[in-house]
Amino acid sequence: MKYTVVDVRTRAEFSGGNVAGSINIPLQEVVENEAKIMALEQPIIFCCASGGRSGQATQYFKSKGLNCENGGSWMDVNFQLNQ
């Protein structure tokens, strides 16, 4: 299955470790990058450090009709994708 992982942590957090192939768009920048995110291959899995920020991004984009899920922690997403 094809999907896109969008990590909404800060650039500093992202550079400290991330899901291979994921895209980093910090939560405070998702609205200004809405068109870019809407154009990504769906479904989109949002992740962050614990699931809080990615939950906000998921809720926002689901209201826009995007096929997306909250993956929670990037480490959980990494684990799930590498099984």
Give the span between the Cα atoms of 41 and 17, in whole angstroms: 23
What pLDDT is recorded for position 42? 96
Residue 62 has pLDDT above 80, yes or no: yes
State pLDDT tens for residues 5-59: 999 999 999 999 999 999 999 999 999 999 999 999 999 999 999 999 999 999 9
Instruction: Band the pLDDT of 1: cuts 50, 70, 90.
Output: low
Q: How many structural domains are present in the chain?
A: 1
What pLDDT is recorded for position 81? 86
What pLDDT is recorded for position 66? 97
CATH number for the domain harbouring residue 8: 3.40.250.10
